[in-house]
Amino acid sequence: MSYALQTLWHERPRYASGVLAVTFSAVLIALQCGLLLGLFKITSIPIDFASAGTDRTLWVGSTAVPSVDLGKPIPASYLSRVAGRPGVGMPELYVANFANFTKPTGGTELCFLLGSRLDGDSAAAATVLTPQMRAALSEPFTVVLDESDYAKLKLDHPYGRPKINGKEVTVVGTVKGVKSLAAPWMFCSLHTARQLLGYVLPPDHATYLVAVCDTPARAREVARELRAEYPDDMTAYSGTDFSTGSRWYWLFRTKAGFAIGFAAVLGLFVGAVITGQTLYSATAASAKEFAILLALGIPRWRVYLMVLAQSFWVGVVGVALAYPICLALREAARLGSVDVDLRWEVLAGTAAVTLLTALAAGLWALRSVRTIEPMDLLR
């Protein structure tokens, strides 16, 4: 292994293209996967930004709801099904529904209303809402939205008033970091959400019930119990499971995962081909050295092992170079308000896939070793 590393260092110009190909593949895979995760984190914002977090929360909604933005109204009387269970706090009502937003300049867009209690102990109120914003939202027909949507919805226009479902609203603040895929999130009080939705939300109904459990395990356990007891008219998830389910739903519904995954696989394939060709050429160029080793009685399998060791180190060096590049590009993306989620699972998976690809390229390069014979020295 050390001999292979020494050879790689002394012959670095010969192996440079292979190392760069591996680096390119690793960067592309990591960034594509990180971009995909960052993009679909947006779809679970109402769950992830709830004041109680995701680990210990329990979400109760309509039957088999696949994503947080696709819930249907359920009766508020369902509170009695959840309240009083051991290890579960008092559930609260939560409204999440699409609405029509009319810009001050005219024209409409879809928005997504998120109505909750605004008390300090509210489990569902968004963490991005400051105490001042919560106090302002207690006034009827007031909303808060992400700053990135302010100009897009023409709210910087000096004339006209925005409307939601035909009723005038007042924007009392903006938050940061809660972008949406399509319809902007609009935070408001439970009362305002009911007034704005009107007939869309029947009286004494809500979209979800949200409760806080003692432990994450208890949240999952209660969710299973509720699904088993009431399979026909409601469902229940722990916050963690509901968040993950929402992301997976949109991943497959939009086909974006396929498109980004295809680009990552293409980059991996290109890197593998270049790496394989580099290793093949380098191995063929070292044919006389390998022939000498064979003539000295070195087993052929030891030569094979050295070629594979070289491919392994090409992969290691390529991954090592890719890591700081990925971090730098992530920071550059953040400057443009793009979230690239490079969690450790993404980096570890990228490293594993890239190293396996480099070893596969090394196996392909072994073809040139099989044709080497000690008699080649006499030619």
pLDDT tens per residue, range 65-96: 999 999 999 999 999 999 989 999 999 999 99
Rounded mean pLDDT, 364-376: 64
Residue 208 has pLDDT above 80, yes or no: yes
* Per-residue confidence (pLDDT) for residue 107, from 0 to 100: 87
Rounded mean pLDDT, 196-225: 94
The answer to which of 29-38, 118-127, 325-334 has the lowest mean pLDDT is 29-38
Residue 236 has pLDDT above 80, yes or no: yes
Residue 376 has pLDDT above 70, yes or no: no
The answer to which of 174-188, 246-260, 359-373 has the lowest mean pLDDT is 359-373
Rounded mean pLDDT, 150-168: 87
Choose the most confident range, by mean pLDDT, from 44-48, 148-152, 293-297, 315-319. Answer: 44-48
Residue 206 has pLDDT above 60, yes or no: yes
pLDDT by residue (tens digit) across 56-65?
999 999 998 9
Confidence band for 282, pLDDT divided at 50, 70 and 90 = low
* Per-residue confidence (pLDDT) for residue 103, from 0 to 100: 93
Confidence band for 275, pLDDT divided at 50, 70 and 90 = low
Dihedral sign, CA of 8, 11, 13, 18?
negative
Q: Name the residue with higher pLDDT: 29 or 86.
A: 86
* Per-residue confidence (pLDDT) for residue 29, from 0 to 100: 82
Q: What are phi and psi of 11, to 5 degrees?
A: -105, 30
* Per-residue confidence (pLDDT) for residue 306, from 0 to 100: 76
Share of residues in the chain with pLDDT > 70 (%): 83
pLDDT by residue (tens digit) across 107-141?
899 999 999 999 888 999 999 999 999 999 999 99
As given in the structure block, the two tokens for residue 56 are 């210990």
Taking the model in full, what pTM does it have? 0.78
Dihedral sign, CA of 358, 360, 361, 366?
positive
Average pLDDT, the chain: 84
Rounded mean pLDDT, 221-233: 94
* Per-residue confidence (pLDDT) for residue 30, from 0 to 100: 84
Rounded mean pLDDT, 323-340: 86
Residue 9 has pLDDT above 90, yes or no: no
d(CA 272, CA 270) in angstroms, rounded, equals 5
What SS3 class is residue 218?
Answer: helix
Residue 369 has pLDDT above 70, yes or no: no
Q: What's the chain's Rg over C-alpha atoms?
A: 29
Question: Pairing between strand 92-102 and 108-116?
Answer: antiparallel
Rounded mean pLDDT, 281-301: 67
Residue 290 has pLDDT above 70, yes or no: no
Is residue 171 within 8 A of residue 162, CB to CB? The reply is yes
* Per-residue confidence (pLDDT) for residue 349, from 0 to 100: 84
3-state SS string over 311-363?
Answer: HHHHHHHHHHHHHHHHHHHHHHHHHCCCCCCCCHHHHHHHHHHHHHHHHHHHH
Share of residues in the chain with pLDDT > 90 (%): 45
Taking alpha carbons only, the member of 71, 98, 372 closest to residue 205 is 71
* Per-residue confidence (pLDDT) for residue 43, from 0 to 100: 85
* Per-residue confidence (pLDDT) for residue 135, from 0 to 100: 95
* Per-residue confidence (pLDDT) for residue 52, from 0 to 100: 85
Residue 261 has pLDDT above 90, yes or no: no
In the chain, domain spans: 2-41+255-378, 45-253
* Per-residue confidence (pLDDT) for residue 371, from 0 to 100: 65
Is residue 26 within 8 A of residue 319, CB to CB? The reply is yes
